[in-house]
Chains A and B, each alone.
Chain A
Amino acid sequence: MKEVYSTGEAAKICRVSQQTVIRCFDAGKLQGFYVPGSRFRRIPRDALVKFMKENGIPISNLDTGKKKILVVDDEPGIVEMLVDTLQRDGRFEVKTASCGYDAGILTQQFHPDAIVLDYMLQDINADVVTKAIKSNPSLEDTRIIIISGMIENDKVQSLYDLGVHAYLRKPFQIDELINKISELLHI
């Protein structure tokens, strides 16, 4: 878990500009220190949490140290199994959705590092979800992994063309999924 943040990192977590963080730091509203022998400002985790609470900024954006994974599938058994698998690993914070609509909302709020997405959902298909994510600049780092039992080989390429980062066919090897996620998130 990260203990000290730069002003840029703090700005991102608080969803404000870096200049705002520097002004608050300089005004003493946000406690911190300078890196010795330099003018680089550093903010300890506790000070940042206090600042966010005092100013009503949602704490959920604060890095818990775990990678955030959103699992989207309309089959509860699959969701359960995936959540179980990812939590056992210990490196992931997992949220779930069972349809494309929920997935969209959660993506905005949760800012997942990776989405594990079933291709065929009840309301919309994964290619629509993918396009929505890709059109949002703040989600440009979000990795998209599609799992499906329904896709012909010649369609897989069109998914990659949309910006999907990985595709796994159901039923999949759990190890392969974890490896794929770790690889994509550089952990």
Chain B
Amino acid sequence: MGASGFQRRKIEVLLDEVDSLPTLPGVAYRLLSTLSAPRLTRRDLQLIIEADAVLSARAVRLALDLGSPPDSVTSIDAVLAAVPLEAVAADLLGIDVVDPQIAADLDLARLWRHALATGMAAQAIATRLGTTSPPQALLAGMLHDIGQAALAITLPRAYRQVLDHAALAGTDLVEAERKILHVDHATIGKRLAGRWGFSETLQNAIWLHHQAEVPATDAPADAVLLQVVRLADLVVRQEGFGYLASEQLRDGTAEGAERLGLSGAAAEQIGRQIASAFVLNAEPAGLQAAPTPEQMQAVLSGARVQLGRLYRSQYQQALKARADAGQSDLLVRLSGRLAACRSAKDVLAGVVAHVREALGVKTVAVYLVSREGGYVEGILGAADATTEHFIHSLAKIESAESLLSGFLPAPVSSMPGRAEGAEAWLCEFHGAKFGAGPFYTVPLTAGKTRIGGLVLAAKSAQGSLPPQDAAQLTALASVAAVAIKRVQAEADLVALSEEFAEVNRDLHAAEHERVQRRNVAALGEMAAGAAHEINNPLAIISGRAQQLAADEKVPARQEMLKTIVQQASRVSDILADLRQFAHPPAPQFAEVDAAAVAREIVAEFQRGPNAKGPQLRLEAPDAPARIRVDRGQVSSALREIVKNALEACSNSAAGNVTVAVQPISAEGSVRIAVIDDGPGMDPQVRARAFDPFFCGREAGRRRGLGLSKAYRAVVASGGQMTLESAPGHGTTVRLTFHAAQAAKN
């Protein structure tokens, strides 16, 4: 036992060194011929791999090495789906070939044919069953004796003894292996499959395919697959596809078939099918004939060439991938740099700086064209390493048409091209700084619209643009265009919000005006109703008081009664005033000299220069300032305003009120301003200054209908009335009227 343990361990250690197994010369010949063919198809490759256990194992290992999960690699189909054809080809080009002498000595072709037949039979059985995947059954069948191949190839002389022993003793191979090698091929196969990372399912199929009784397993599908492989193994041996030509068969076929729910006859039928179809698969796989040494030599040298070609192409791809990674690095940096820019100018400067750094050129210009604005704006990085910002009117650019032509709704090529013609304007404006070229240009485009361009001088006078630089310029131009569009959109947004603010202000003003009008109208309605209701009781109060007064002999009481009458009359006056305010008489328009009106009103209020209280002054042009208004109404309005201004100043010892008449020819209007340096109004008072009965002064002085009435009258005459006031800064009321049209000749 000690010796056998040692022997077994030695074999295990030896096999642990086995990284890959060689295949038969015939198979290698077919494989390498196929791989060296001008056009390799997946189908051709698949046929060869699927017909050879060693190639199948190698392909599965490749997929596993490249990261496919073991359970997903259940067939050669799955391998070819997971691994690029080129990679499979490159790997298989490195296949080793079994020494022809050994192959002949051990009759390995028989072993290979046994594996293929078993695979085919397993596939056929699986197809018949419908419960397990045929490609998986094929793979498991192919690989079930991989341990045998490994033992035979690794220990050819020992295995020769095994074969001899089996033949002499009439035992089966498993017994002979155990006898001679102290380990059987099923165990070795399982160990190899485990070391190579094959799935548990495959490992079990390899390990247990000689056992009639299958141990219970968690996965019933695995048990089925195992039975399929076992039955396939038996069936093909019946048909003469066993490794040992002399082996004596114990017929377990019917039993095995029954375990799978098939009849023995069905299993035999499958066996016969395989026997007749076998050559169809074996021939293309190279199992039928061995090549001559010359043929082998030729195909090996072809494989070397192909291997070299593949290596070079892989190397180029690796280089390109590294360059791509570098380029996208640069683009990420550019994006970051441009994201911080808040103006188109910043973006342009950022692009210039980036191009200089990334491509190592000095002369580069980036510009954008504003069709609406009619200008070209850009940044020029000059040959002397300086940078300047420029704006040119499109009208001054001779070749502007070519700049604008890019705006036609046609696709614009985004690849760099030679620049001299289209970008001649840059040389015209910046010739000295721009250097001699040759120049390349790439348009900046947003969608299909050209928004600008990038121009740079090649590094050397003869220099063409290296392809990687061209690619980078193209990518860079699109990043720059996006950044420019972004800052332009932001600028538009700011402009839009400013417009909104303006519209909002206008709306507020209009709303205020509307509320003002509505208030006045509502007040008018109320006054009209109130006048009727109030005047009747007033008439009674007044009338009765008059009667009492007529009879009253006591003078004091008579006075009281007269007061009642007077106050009733005053209430009535207020109501009449209100009614007139709410329903002012329609203005009678006539041409009036505003200066004359102002002069008249000032004269009414003016007192001597030495009089106490506020002073009233007039500033008016000598020439008439003609307006078309209702003279009476505008006069009353001005009177009220002046009265108001004088009253505002009445508390200060030396107040001044100025009435200024100014024709404003630019606006075609005439303005009458009443300016006082009184205490002014705070914003709350100012806001309500035109409200009827609102009195900014202490309550009870005078009813505050004056300014409201004035406002109504001015508006009725087609004028505007505004009020400007702040506490401590006096008050200015401005009346603005359209100047009367000069009489036509």
Contact = CB atoms under 8 A, between A and B. Distances in A.
A150 B535 contact: yes
B745 to A, nearest CB: 37
Contacts of B569: 171
A75 B542 CA distance: 15
A84 B550 CA distance: 13
A149 B531 contact: yes
Interface string B510-543: 0000000000000000001001101111111111
A82 B539 CA distance: 10
Chain B interface helix/strand/loop/mixed: helix
A124 interface: no
Nearest to B533: A149
Nearest to B586: A154
B189 to A, nearest CB: 122
Contacts of A173: 546, 565
Interface string B556-595: 0000000001001100100110011001010000000000
B547 interface: yes
Given A81-B543, A150-B532, 18 more contacts: A78-B539, A81-B544, A82-B543, A85-B543, A149-B532, A149-B536, A150-B535, A152-B579, A152-B583, A169-B576, A170-B536, A170-B538, A171-B538, A171-B541, A171-B543, A171-B565, A171-B572, A172-B542
A164 interface: no
A120 B540 contact: no
A2 interface: no
Interface in A159-187: 169-175
A150 B540 contact: no
A88 interface: yes
B281 to A, nearest CB: 119
A78 B543 CA distance: 8
Contact of B531 (A78, A150, A153): A150
A172 B531 contact: no
Contacts of B550: 174
Contacts of A37: none
Contacts of A147: 539
Interface string A63-96: 0000000000001011001101100100000000
Interface residues of B, number: 27
Interface string B78-98: 000000000000000000000
Nearest to B546: A174
A170 B535 contact: yes
Given A75-B536, A171-B535, A172-B539, A149 B572 contact: yes
A69 B538 CA distance: 23
13 contacts: A75-B540, A77-B540, A78-B539, A81-B539, A81-B547, A85-B547, A149-B535, A170-B535, A170-B536, A171-B539, A171-B543, A172-B542, A174-B550
B542 A171 contact: yes
B585 A152 contact: yes
A78 B547 contact: no
B547 A149 contact: no
Closest CB pairs A-B (n = 8):
A149-B535, A171-B542, A171-B539, A170-B539, A77-B540, A81-B543, A170-B535, A174-B546
A149 B538 contact: yes
A120 B539 CA distance: 14
A112 to B, nearest CB: 20
A150 B535 CA distance: 8
Contacts of B576: 169
Interface string A119-162: 01000000000000000000000000001111011100000000
Contact of A77 (B531, B536, B575): B536
Nearest to B568: A171
A64 B538 CA distance: 34
Given A152-B580, A152-B583, A78 B536 contact: yes
Contacts of B542: 171-172
A149 B533 CA distance: 9
A120 B529 CA distance: 12
A113 B542 CA distance: 26
Contacts of B541: 171
A138 to B, nearest CB: 32
Contacts of B531: 149-150
A77 B537 contact: yes
Contacts of B572: 149, 169-171
Contacts of A154: 585
A34 B580 CA distance: 64
A78 B547 CA distance: 13
Contacts of A169: 572, 576
Contacts of B565: 171, 173
Nearest to B540: A77
B533 to A, nearest CB: 9
A153 B577 CA distance: 11
A148 B539 CA distance: 10
B539 A149 contact: yes
A175 B576 CA distance: 22
Contacts of B540: 75, 77-78, 81, 171
A152 B544 CA distance: 25
Contacts of B538: 149, 170-171
Interface in B688-709: none
